[in-house]
A and B are shown apart, each in its own frame.
Chain A
Amino acid sequence: MNAPEGDIDFSALFKPRNIAVVGASASSGGPANNFLRGLKRSGYAGDVFPVHPHAQSIEGFPAYRSINDIPCNVDYAYIAVAAQRTPAIFKGLSRRIVFAQVVSSGFSEVAGGLALEQQLVTACRQVGVRLLGPNCLGVHSPRGLISFVEGAPLEQGTIGVLSQSGGLSIDIIGRGHVRGLRFSAVVSLGNCADLGVPDLLQFLLDDPLTKVIGLYLEDVVEGRRFYDILRAGRARKPIVLLKGGRTKAGQRASSSHTGSLAQEDSIWVALSRQTGVVLVDTLDQLLDALLTFQFVSLHPERPTRRAVLFGNGGGAGVLACDAFSRAGIDIAPLSHDTITRLQQLKLPAGTSIENPVDTPGGVLRHEDGLLGVRVLHAIWDDPSVEVVVMHLNIPAIMNYANPLVVPNLVRGALDLQSQGGRSVHFVLVLRSDGNVDSGTEKAKYRELAREMGVPIFDEFHDAANALSALAAHETFLNSRMDTSAP
Chain B
Amino acid sequence: MSIDKDKIKHVSKLARISLDEKKIDTLAKDLTSIFKFIEQLNELKTENVEPLSSILDKPLRSRKDVVDDGKIRDKILENSPKKNEEFFVVPKVIE
State whether these chains interact.
no
A residues at B contact (CB < 8 Å): none
